[in-house]
Structure 1
Amino acid sequence: MAAPAANGRPPVGLPADMVRKVRDNSPLQVFVNAKRKINDIYVEIEDYVKDSVAYMRSVQNNEQLFANDDFKIVESHINKVRGIRDVLLRDHMKVAFFGRTSNGHTTNCFLQVEGSETGEAYLVTEDSSEKQNVKSVGQLGHALCKEKLKESQMVRIFWPKEKCLLLRDDVVLVDSPGIDVTPNLDEWIDKHCLDADVFVLVANAESTLMVTEKNFFHKVSQRLSKPNIFILNNRWDAAASEPDYMDEVRGQHTERTIDFLVSELKVCSSDEAAQRIFFVSAKEALQARLQEQNGHPAHTGALAEGFQKRYFEFQDFEKKFEECISQSAVKTKFEQHSQQGQLVVSEVKRVMDAIYEKCLKTRAEKLLTKKEVQDRLNFTEKNLMLLTQEMKDKIHQMVEDVEQRVSKALSEEIHRLSTLVDEFNLAFHPEPLVLNVYKKELHVYVENGLGSNLRARLSTALALNMETSQREMMERMAELLPADKKQVSLTILPRREPFEILYRLNCDNLCADFHENLEFRFSWGITSLIARFMRGRSADVAVLNRVERIPHPLTPLGDPGHQVSLQRSVSNEDWSFLSKIAVASISSQGTVGGMLVAGFMLKTVGWRLILVSGAIYGCLYMYERLTWTNKAKERTFKKQYVNHATNKLKLIVDLTSANCSHQVQQELSSTFARLCHLVDESTEEMSGRVKALEKEVKLLEESANSAKVLRNKANYVARELNLFDEAYLLQQD
């Protein structure tokens, strides 16, 4: 098995797997691997920035977790990272060859050789995108070509990568026209050299460095910080004709070149400069490679003695050149991208850290607020239950108190009804039509009078009690309300007038069955006397607690078809007297009755006594008859009305007091219900607030977790960049 050449290139005939192994160990592969790695990292950076922007958009309206400026900064990194990725795809190792005309240069313009992605060979000129046959490069780029191109123009040559290892390893070769053909060195450098990683000066070993060559690299060093320069003293095979002076000439060239690199350009140290100077024969090396490609030994392409030494030195140049271009390209191309990636990641991480901390802080605040609201809700609900029961008891007590007060006051006013009726002074006349109007007005007067008297006795105390109770309700319920509703509760029941009970007596309907009896009745008539006697005996029976059948109440005197029922159980001796006069007086009234009685008494008391008694009796009758005026009739009417109304009003005492207590109950219950409604609204708001806070806390937890993931991803990407720096950048220092 053939051993690999000193420059790391596999000899002809090496198996494909060995070729791949040798190629993987090439210094140029460091750049290729570094480029692949930094591209992979930037894919992650781009994904990370996109994820961060998407996350920030999703939480943009949540609690102001970040400032708008932070969002703009993170969002701007998308285009920045995308631009860096585009640059990375174009990044390659660039080598620029310079020298005076005839030092190995025969071009009249810039020729750039780069790998073809399509596998075809073609070229394009600077001012055209047309693909031309690569064979025309000999005419376009040759200094003796009739078709002249400007020396600053570029001809790009695309060559299949599989035919050249350097091109396969992302190396671009730029060959310049002679630096002595134009004074426009600044334009050259700015246009084609600022991105070069290595400069190779092809000098003539038969002469020392010229001022033109030194001047070019002075301009390069002004624009680039310490450019990497290799100096190839070409045509060293010509020195073989004078072997006695070869070492002296080599030493002289080396000394002057080191002084130029170290003292004048100040781009490297003496030891580094000694490693950048080589004495070669490009033509001889080309012929040796062609012989190797054809399967012949390399020395068959020698042009003079000492070939082996010159060929080894050329291979040493290739090795150091590859190491230098790889190291330089990795550092110049990727160091800035690595630093920019670290900056992007650190800025996004800073924003994610801030969002994460804000989420945690806001979440803690929300949890505290939720606990406070929940505690307030529990306190309100618990105390509302207790207060509701307490208020129900108070309302019940007050309702009972009102019922008792109204019952007592109404009973007392009924006892004083005669006084109220006596004060009614509307003109009285027994004419039926007039009398009906009189009764209606009396109904209204009694109803208003009773109501007015009841209000005078009860309204002030009841209104004060009602106001006190309502105020207590509002103050107690206000303790359960938040601050913004407390004032509402204190003004929920504005009253222009104090609460007043309506006493619905309705005397018109109540006394609708009242029928007056205004016929003259002699108070000393037989019927009246018997009625008085019977009433007296009834009183005696009640006092003596005798077991007697209590008579039914007498039908009011005003009833038509009035007849007196005298069914009583009396003693035999009382009946012996009454039976004598009753027979005579039954169905008798006035004088006829008196004559019958007188006839019976004539036998017992004598006619004189009867005459005197009759005279007195007649006088009494005449007096009462003469005094039976409208006034007497009005008094009788009022007396009958009072008796009737009293009985009727007594029947509705309980109903009226219950109605009044119901009004009080409704008023207090309505007040309490409205206050409870305020509390219910407050508890509903608090319940809704608790649910909203739970949702917000959950969203904040999710946001914090997402921010934490993105923050950890930033740490991962930053660690990847650090590992890249350690693997490809720090080792180059």
Structure 2
Amino acid sequence: MNGEAEPLLRFAEAKKVLGEIYTDLGKHVDELDEVYRGIVEPPGGGAGDSGECMVPDEQVAEIELFRESINTIMETFRRDNMKVVFFGRTSNGKSTTINAMLHAKILPQGMGHTTCCFLQVQGCNEDTGYLLLEDNPTRIPIDQLSKIGHALSSDNSGLPAMGQDSLLRVFYPKGRGETENRLLQNDVVILDSPGVDLSPEFDSWIDKHCLDADVFVLVLNAESTLTQAEKSFFHRVAKKLSKPNVFILNNRWDASAAESEHVEDVKQQHLTRFRQFLVNELEVATDRDVKDRIFFVSSREMLDSRLKARGLIKNPYQMDGHQVRAMEFEMFERQFEQCISRAAIRTKFEAHNRRANEIIARMRANVDVVHAAAAKAKQSLEYSLKRSTQVFNDCRMNFAQFERAYREQTERLRAEVHLKVSADFSEEIMRLEAIVDRFNMPFLDTTQGIIEYKRILRHSVQALAEFTDKCVSSDLEARCTGGLMSRIWNLENDMFQYVTKILAEPYQHKLEEVWRYRAPFKFSICVDAPALTKDFHEDLEFRFTFGLSAIIRRIIAYRSGQPVTAIQANLLTPIALRNAGRSNEDLHNEAM
């Protein structure tokens, strides 16, 4: 863009910067929301009461409000643009002035009442322009503009009826390169209005179309003076808007070329009236500023000059002194661009900037609340940790004392149990013969009976061992139960009472529940007599007690630690004699 477009670029730059501010603000809100949810709902679950105490529900809900506000504001200022409204009496050249500023003949213009409604011109990225009616998304070809918006058209009987306060939006291509339109390219929206002398309903016009305007341009006819209708309109604008930016274009100043003698007197007369109106009546400008708000131009000459520069016409309309009027028009455009850029940034973005500061302040207050709650929770947790640590240390010390005290009693009880069981077991061994006699299994001394007895002897021995084990175990349990159970129960009760005193109040009830439903202690003694008969071998043959084989078997059994019945009976066979030189243990191993 060239240097002339620089004031308009400030609006786009401000919009970009504000967008970055709100984008960063949205990221901070998302980060804060993630932190809060991480405290309230940890990844592992089980947030508990501490997280909710540190981050109250109101603070979490407010974060969502921040996000909604930011999204709404971003959507709003992305649609924001610079808006200028042209007002004036019928046929003062409002549409011609707009066309001259746009370097194209877009709006209908001519003698009489040409504009029948509000026409809003704004840029579009399409190559072909189009029209949109209020509350109707259907696009209308732009070539229908002369019929819809032109009050004098005789061909608009079949088109939608347009009231004076209705709005017809004109979307015109922004263009590229040489055809680029500086105003439309930089988001300037231009609003053309019907003549202020056609309707006294100024308030509805202002409320509906002008409250968001950044600049007002009053287009006057140089051949007439400022009317009361025009004054009344801007007085009402000044009541609804704080110090509106007003430019006055004294159009058709080309008519002064025919009266060059009195042109300066007429110009000073107009300047005096316009200065009094802007400074004294509306109070929207100072004496120093008013010179940059009043211009004497010829919009028709400027439009034809620019159309010729584009090669669209050959013979432009020009009167004597058109160069001065062209310079005045260009000066108006420069002042207008600077003013609308500043005003739009102030009116459109100051509110968003103020809202951003408010959101930041509320976020700071939100974080302060959470910080205070977190500090309070931290203090409470530190106190709880200190108290729990003290309780734990006391409990550990008490348990150490308990362990030392009851280890000695446990050792003494174990020694008592050992002595008691050993003594009772010895008595049971002395009664072993009586126990064996109680084992009832018939024995026949006939040949057939002995053969059958040998066949079932191993099973009989196993049954005898199991019977003996059962009798000895039950007798021992009965003996020990009577003598030691009261001692064990007393020790258990003492331990329970001691541990109850050590534990804190909440855990005492749990210990009582466990103690109440525990399994009662009872003695369980295992003699395992069947294991003693695994190496049993019957010996039912008759032999001399002091025979040679019997003596050898006794010697081998003594040296090997095995029962005599486990040693081979026939040790005087040829095989045994051949191995006579070997040790008794070797003979025994081969005999086995």
User: TM-score range, shorter-chain basis?
Assistant: 0.5 to 0.7
Aligned to 1:227: 244
SS in 2 for 1:97: strand
SS in 2 for 1:130: strand
Aligned to 1:158: 171
Deviation of 1:323 (Å): 0.4
Q: Does 2:286 align with 1:306? A: no
Q: Distance in 2 between matches of 1:252 and 1:344?
A: 52
The match for 1:280 among 291, 297, 301 is 297
SS in 1 for 2:137: coil
Aligned to 1:197: 214
Deviation of 1:92 (Å): 0.6
Aligned to 1:618: none
Aligned to 2:345: 330
Q: Does 2:82 align with 1:93? A: yes
Q: Distance in 1 between matches of 2:34 and 2:412?
A: 67
- Give the direction of change, closer, same or farther, for the CA distance of 1:124–1:387 in structure 2 (3 Å limit): closer
Identity %: 35
Opposite residue 272 of structure 2, the aligned amino acid is E
Q: Does 2:151 align with 1:134? A: no
Checking the alignment, whether the CA contact within 8 Å between 1:100 and 1:203 is kept in structure 2 is: yes
Aligned to 1:373: 388
Checking the alignment, whether the CA contact within 8 Å between 2:56 and 2:370 is kept in structure 1 is: no
Q: Deviations over 1:366-402 (max 9, x none)?
A: 3553354345334433432332222233566699999
Aligned to 1:596: none
Aligned to 2:186: 169
Q: Distance in 1 between matches of 2:86 and 2:411?
A: 112
Opposite residue 228 of structure 1, the aligned amino acid is N
SS in 1 for 2:261: coil
The match for 1:37 among 7, 17, 25 is 17
Structure 2 length as normaliser, TM-score? 0.63
Checking the alignment, whether the CA contact within 8 Å between 1:112 and 1:157 is kept in structure 2 is: yes
Q: Deviations over 1:554-576 (max 9, x none)?
A: xxxxxxxxxxxxxxxxxxxxxxx
Deviation of 1:302 (Å): 6.4
- Give the direction of change, closer, same or farther, for the CA distance of 1:160–1:465 in structure 2 (3 Å limit): closer
Deviation of 1:478 (Å): 4.1
Q: Distance in 1 between matches of 2:304 and 2:200?
A: 34
Opposite residue 42 of structure 1, the aligned amino acid is Y
Aligned to 1:66: 55
In terms of mean alpha carbon deviation, does 309-318 or 70-79 score higher? 70-79
- Give the direction of change, closer, same or farther, for the CA distance of 1:313–1:21 in structure 2 (3 Å limit): closer
Deviation of 1:218 (Å): 1.1
Checking the alignment, whether the CA contact within 8 Å between 1:475 and 1:490 is kept in structure 2 is: no
Q: Does 2:204 align with 1:187? A: yes
Q: Distance in 2 between matches of 1:487 and 1:340?
A: 58
Checking the alignment, whether the CA contact within 8 Å between 1:107 and 1:177 is kept in structure 2 is: yes
Deviation of 1:470 (Å): 7.8
Q: Deviations over 1:215-250 (max 9, x none)?
A: 111111122111111010111111122222212211
Structure 1 length as normaliser, TM-score? 0.52
The match for 2:504 among 470, 482, 486 is 482
Q: Deviations over 1:305-334 (max 9, x none)?
A: 222222111111000000000111111111
Q: Distance in 2 between matches of 1:315 and 1:345?
A: 43
Deviation of 1:34 (Å): 0.9
Higher Rg: 1
Deviation of 1:351 (Å): 2.0
Counting only pairs closer than 5 Å after superposition, residues 490-639 of structure 1 correspond to structure 2 as none
Opposite residue 270 of structure 2, the aligned amino acid is H
- Give the direction of change, closer, same or farther, for the CA distance of 1:207–1:372 in structure 2 (3 Å limit): same
Deviation of 1:127 (Å): 5.3
Opposite residue 291 of structure 1, the aligned amino acid is K
Q: Does 2:33 align with 1:53? A: yes
Aligned to 2:354: 339
Q: Distance in 2 between matches of 1:240 and 1:402?
A: 137
SS in 2 for 1:206: coil
Q: Distance in 2 between matches of 1:375 and 1:137?
A: 88
Opposite residue 326 of structure 2, the aligned amino acid is Y
- Give the direction of change, closer, same or farther, for the CA distance of 1:67–1:324 in structure 2 (3 Å limit): same
SS in 1 for 2:144: helix
Opposite residue 137 of structure 1, the aligned amino acid is L
Q: Distance in 1 between matches of 2:133 and 2:397?
A: 90
SS in 2 for 1:201: strand
SS in 1 for 2:140: coil
Q: Distance in 2 between matches of 1:30 and 1:53?
A: 34
Aligned to 2:91: 102
The match for 1:269 among 286, 294, 299 is 286
Checking the alignment, whether the CA contact within 8 Å between 2:134 and 2:167 is kept in structure 1 is: yes
Deviation of 1:117 (Å): 2.5
Aligned to 2:477: none
| Structure with the largest fraction of helix | 1
Aligned to 1:681: none
Q: Distance in 1 between matches of 2:224 and 2:510?
A: 107
- Give the direction of change, closer, same or farther, for the CA distance of 1:100–1:296 in structure 2 (3 Å limit): closer
Deviation of 1:103 (Å): 0.8
SS in 1 for 2:21: helix
SS in 1 for 2:224: coil
Q: Does 2:8 align with 1:22? A: no
- Give the direction of change, closer, same or farther, for the CA distance of 1:489–1:26 in structure 2 (3 Å limit): closer
- Give the direction of change, closer, same or farther, for the CA distance of 1:394–1:258 in structure 2 (3 Å limit): same
Deviation of 1:39 (Å): 1.9
Q: Distance in 2 between matches of 1:115 and 1:492?
A: 83
Counting only pairs closer than 5 Å after superposition, residues 352-431 of structure 1 correspond to structure 2 as 352-363=367-378, 365-394=380-409
Q: Distance in 1 between matches of 2:135 and 2:411?
A: 106
SS in 1 for 2:139: coil
Deviation of 1:273 (Å): 2.4
Checking the alignment, whether the CA contact within 8 Å between 1:42 and 1:341 is kept in structure 2 is: yes
Query: How many pairs does the alignment contain?
Result: 420
Q: Distance in 2 between matches of 1:301 and 1:183?
A: 37
Deviation of 1:492 (Å): 9.8
Deviation of 1:344 (Å): 1.9
Task: Give the unaligned 5+ runs of structure 1.
Answer: 1-19, 405-454, 495-733
Deviation of 1:281 (Å): 0.9
Aligned to 1:717: none
Opposite residue 239 of structure 2, the aligned amino acid is Q
**How much is the aligned-residue C-alpha RMSD, in angstroms?**
3.6
Q: Distance in 2 between matches of 1:310 and 1:355?
A: 66
